[in-house]
Structure 1
Amino acid sequence: MLRALIGALLVLAVIAGVVGGVIWWRTKSSAQDDRRQAAASFVTAWEKGDRHGMWEALTPAAQARAPEVDFAASYRRAYRAAGVRELRAGTPGDEANGHIAVPVVVTTADFGELRGTVQVPVKGSKKDAGVEWDPMLRLPGLRAGEAVHKRSGTPVSRGEIIAADGTLLDATALGASIAGRPGAEGGKPTGLQRIFDDRLAGHPAERLLFGKRVIARTKAAKGRDVHTTIRPALMARAANALGDRLGGVAVIRPRDGAVLALAGLAVSAPQPPGSTFKIITAAAALEDGKATPATTYPVRTAAVLSGTQLRNAGGESCGGTLTESFIESCNSVFAPLGAKVGAKKLVAAAERFGFNEEPRIPAAKPSTISPPSKLPDDLAVGAAAIGQDRDLATPLAMASVGATIATGGVRAAPRLSRLQKRVRKRAVSTKVAHQVREMMLGVVRSGTGTAAAIPGVEVAGKTGTAELRPNSSDPKDADAWFVAFAPAGRPEVAVAVMLVGAGFGGTAAAPVAREVLQAAL
């Protein structure tokens, strides 16, 4: 009996020991999971540059030693000295001796990649589990008490911005406005000096130090020149053609989007594009099968959309085929046609032609069209389809629209240097682009744009008269536009002209475009 009792007690003791061991193991495992999760949160936030998220992953004791403001500042100082651009972290390992190993690769501006394994100290459990942070965690390879420094040698010479003819772009006032300055207000570059600052500036010989240890070195690199596509003589001719009138001129090479000349308000003051926008509306309608060049429309002086009358620019009667209506620039045809295409497809077409896009040209404002949600009825869509409503465009953007038709429907985003990547995207099919080109040829041959004709050269164009005040007969209440490219068969240049408060595009803007085209060719 006694033996049986002793045996039972021994069994119970063994069971209790096993259960206790399991509980201890589970508790330890749970605490390790808590610490591993804290380390993972720290590393994830570290990769994102989320200093707050990193600090939140610290233990309460570490947070007390390194308040969040000081914690973030210590990383900013170290990153600025090392020129950190990106940090990539691998998968955290298992905990060993209170640390979790994390492989880290840091990409710097001048010193290449810094690689190493960072030992992330962890401590605590449950809500107190976290990273026991130390300043050594800022960069791989840092040791206790080391600061991060960069030492630079003698400054190097800065590169120049060169025009297409080999002269300095800033040799003229017009060129200087595009080139910008290497150090403007607050010491920050402007214009092309800002866009290509890294290339132009170069850098002296440099050393990266952790404390007194040299971690990396770079040799001096002189600033390199930036060659642009700007033709100063053409830009001067464009400015001369513009004269003292308020407006802008932009010239583009269609095949690659190279900007050859800018003058006046070419990029900085978007205005309603008026009937030059019908290039896009015609392309959208043809592409969507809503019309063909031979589709016929009533001859009339105005159209009624959503109970409101939209009249032709001069109050004239026009209509006939789509081609004839384009040549005569009939609002009474194109406003209802735009409504038929619909808000979504009209806006999508405009965006394929470059609207609502951030330009890559210094100081250039985007050209915009309202989103479909802001075009609630046929009147709003119809007005947008004829370049009114809230449509806004720069000469640069409309030159790009003309250039897109010139290249058979492929748009090359405007650029000022071959260093900028050539971005080409199809806006409309080749067939549609050729159909619109034939319409634009008709505008110059016999329509509203005959003033842009050049003997011996086929010019394709489109006039625009953008009302600034509805139903006004005063020319000062309308912007004059003209978009053109030539030679139409093998286009070399596309031009857009905008004159503020100058009236009809065919009489005011087309002659300016002709003069610029002649100079460009």
Structure 2
Amino acid sequence: MFLSPPRASRRRRRSRGGGGQGPSLSVIVVVLVVAAAVIYGAYALISSQLHKDHRHEAVEKFTAAWVKNDYKTMYDLLDVSSRRLNPQISFVADYRRANKAAGVEKITLGTIGPLLSGGIVKVPVTVKTKDFGSLKGTLTFHATQANDIARVAWTPEMVMPGLRKGEEVRRRSGAAPRRGVIYAAGGQLLNSDPLGASISGTAGNKPTGLERIYDDRLGGRRSSSLKFGDRTIAKIDGRTGRSIHTTIKLALTRTAQNALGSKLGGIAVIKPSDGSVLALAGLAVSAPQPPGSSFKIITAAAALQDGVAKLSSSYPVRQYATLSGVKLRNASDEECGGSLTSSFAHSCNSVFGPIGAKLGAKKLVAAAERFGFNETPSLPAAKPNSIPKAADLKDSLAVGASAIGQNKDLATPLGMASVGATIANGGVRIKPWVTGSRPPRKRAVSAKVAAQVRDMMIAVVQGGTGAAAAIPGVTVAGKTGTAELVSTADIAQNAKNTTAWFVAFAPANKPRVAVAVMLPGAGQGGASAAPIAKRVLQAAL
């Protein structure tokens, strides 16, 4: 019996080692898909960073520029089509015409809406106008982007919220109303006199004086309607011009001008009890000069208020005082001193310079400002009284010189008349005014100190440098001033080198009027200015 040999097995054993058959096709596909996703995600991320959507930002920039009337920036943000249809000159003109017609004063944006489909962004806008109130609405912007640059589409109706396609912003106004007039205190027209006319000014396209300050009130208002195309959006009624009554007395003003005559100078007259300006003549408000010793009214009041000086104080009789190593001389090198009242009556620099230095820069300047220095006047073309800042008065000489109305002190007759009126009114100052409501009352010094300074001013007229202002039967309180325009220490006396001042009020115990006279290049205040003040006081009383 023959046996057949065994057959070799055709089944192959699977390799258990690292060799043999590779990964299946399905595994490879999965790997490739994952890799592609990663690569696509990275590309999308990079692409989004490189191609950011700037459309909303473009609308933000456009509207922010609109608020600032920055038309160039606005135009630069327009898309090509909008610029082709609207040249820059027309674009700017459309906004300016609309703004003028509506009287636009301010544009305010609300919260800008999100970027919607199609590049739409909605922006709430409020346009404040001078006459027609606020115009509110929502503008719809269409923004596009190409090559990373975003632009805004624009059409002319976008100049104003609520404007429709084809409409223009227009104003329709009625006839000009009758203009108000300006009256003097006695009921006459202020411009009926050349002196009054210089205060009232002129009307017209470029008004001056009170006509300029009160132009809106005097001119009234035309009736007007704001129209978008044929639609009336808002209306305002017309208003007749309202007249103004001033405190200026024309007869007293003429007297003051006549008292000046041909002399260069200025005069101001004030009613102490209410601060009303009764008369202005010449350089009453427009040419500040060093006030000289008339400023000692303020120095004396401040020193008495602070306790630096008393009526019982006594001072050496001498020709000068030395401050910061420099001689501060009396006028004409005269010797004076003694009591505070006597020193005031004879206008002793050798007394009041050191008093000012002892008081100190801060307190001296603060006192001057309580009397109206460094304050903007409310009258047309009026210049302020001024004194340097305390920090600029760096040594005792500078402070002492300011205390006697020199250094860089400057004043007008109106400003110094107010100083005199403040003492006359018991230490309460009322800012000078010619029309409108009376300004508030502010205390400059105590009533006790004001009374003490008043008595010292009476002594000036009764036995001091201001005797030429004495009026028979009337007690006059006054203060002279002789301000150096150049140093007169080492040169012969010359009237052209000094400005003459006199500040006064009367009757001293029940004041009805205060006056200040200033004469540049006219010598001593007692000789030149006091007689003129007397004439004006007599006319006012």
In the alignment, which of 454, 457, 477 is matched to residue 460 of structure 1? 477
Q: Secondary structure at the match of 2:487?
A: coil
Contact 1:302 1:332 in 2 (8 A): yes
Q: Secondary structure at the match of 2:171?
A: strand
Are 1:441 and 2:458 counterparts? yes
**C-alpha distance 372-212 of structure 1, shift in aligned 2 (>3 A):** same
Contact 2:481 2:526 in 1 (8 A): yes
The Cα of 1:19 is off from its aligned counterpart by 11
The gaps in structure 1 that reach 5 residues or longer are none
In the alignment, which of 486, 491, 502 is matched to residue 522 of structure 2? 502
Aligned to 1:213: 231
Aligned to 1:95: 114
- Separation of aligned partners in 2, 1:354 and 1:494: 15
Aligned to 2:241: 223
Aligned to 2:103: 83
Q: Secondary structure at the match of 2:321?
A: strand
Aligned to 1:272: 290
CA RMSD of aligned residues (A): 3.5
- Separation of aligned partners in 2, 1:121 and 1:267: 56
Taking only the aligned residue pairs, the percentage that are identical comes to 54
**C-alpha distance 156-383 of structure 1, shift in aligned 2 (>3 A):** same
Contact 1:495 1:517 in 2 (8 A): yes
The Cα of 1:401 is off from its aligned counterpart by 1.4
The Cα of 1:423 is off from its aligned counterpart by 4.4
The residue type paired with residue 461 of structure 1 is G
The residue type paired with residue 347 of structure 2 is S
The residue type paired with residue 501 of structure 2 is W
Aligned to 2:260: 242
In the alignment, which of 167, 179, 184 is matched to residue 200 of structure 2? 179
**C-alpha distance 253-135 of structure 1, shift in aligned 2 (>3 A):** farther
The Cα of 1:203 is off from its aligned counterpart by 3.2
The residue type paired with residue 156 of structure 1 is P
Are 1:479 and 2:499 counterparts? yes
Deviation track 1:54-89 (CA, whole Å, cap 9, x = no partner) reads 7547763369948887766544433332234x3363
- Separation of aligned partners in 1, 2:472 and 2:182: 37
- Separation of aligned partners in 2, 1:120 and 1:282: 70
Q: Secondary structure at the match of 2:475?
A: coil
The residue type paired with residue 104 of structure 1 is T
Contact 2:139 2:161 in 1 (8 A): no
**C-alpha distance 80-508 of structure 1, shift in aligned 2 (>3 A):** same
Are 1:256 and 2:274 counterparts? yes
The residue type paired with residue 325 of structure 2 is G
- Separation of aligned partners in 2, 1:72 and 1:406: 60
Are 1:422 and 2:439 counterparts? yes
In the alignment, which of 386, 409, 420 is matched to residue 404 of structure 2? 386
Contact 1:55 1:71 in 2 (8 A): no
When normalised by structure 2's length, the TM-score is 0.81
- Separation of aligned partners in 2, 1:34 and 1:430: 66
The Cα of 1:103 is off from its aligned counterpart by 4.7
Q: Secondary structure at the match of 1:437?
A: helix
Deviation track 1:305-336 (CA, whole Å, cap 9, x = no partner) reads 22222211132211223333222211111122
In the alignment, which of 327, 337, 345 is matched to residue 309 of structure 1? 327
The Cα of 1:279 is off from its aligned counterpart by 1.6
Aligned to 2:135: 115
**C-alpha distance 21-365 of structure 1, shift in aligned 2 (>3 A):** same
The Cα of 1:356 is off from its aligned counterpart by 2.5
Deviation track 1:204-241 (CA, whole Å, cap 9, x = no partner) reads 33332223322223333222211111101111111122
Are 1:106 and 2:128 counterparts? yes
The Cα of 1:481 is off from its aligned counterpart by 0.6
The residue type paired with residue 148 of structure 1 is V
Contact 1:287 1:428 in 2 (8 A): yes
Aligned to 2:180: 159
The Cα of 1:105 is off from its aligned counterpart by 4.9
- Separation of aligned partners in 1, 2:404 and 2:63: 56
How many residues end up aligned between the 2 structures? Answer: 508
Aligned to 2:18: none
When normalised by structure 1's length, the TM-score is 0.84
Contact 1:39 1:100 in 2 (8 A): no
**C-alpha distance 217-463 of structure 1, shift in aligned 2 (>3 A):** same
Aligned to 2:417: 399
Are 1:169 and 2:182 counterparts? no
The gaps in structure 2 that reach 5 residues or longer are 1-23
**C-alpha distance 206-342 of structure 1, shift in aligned 2 (>3 A):** same
The Cα of 1:162 is off from its aligned counterpart by 0.9
Aligned to 2:19: none
Larger radius of gyration: 2
- Residues 111-150 of structure 1 mapped to structure 2, 5 A cutoff: 111-119=131-139, 121=141, 123=143, 135-150=156-171
The residue type paired with residue 213 of structure 2 is I
Q: Secondary structure at the match of 2:420?
A: helix
The residue type paired with residue 269 of structure 2 is V
The residue type paired with residue 527 of structure 2 is T
**C-alpha distance 479-26 of structure 1, shift in aligned 2 (>3 A):** same
Q: Secondary structure at the match of 2:331?
A: coil
The residue type paired with residue 510 of structure 2 is R
The Cα of 1:132 is off from its aligned counterpart by 5.9
Contact 2:78 2:152 in 1 (8 A): no
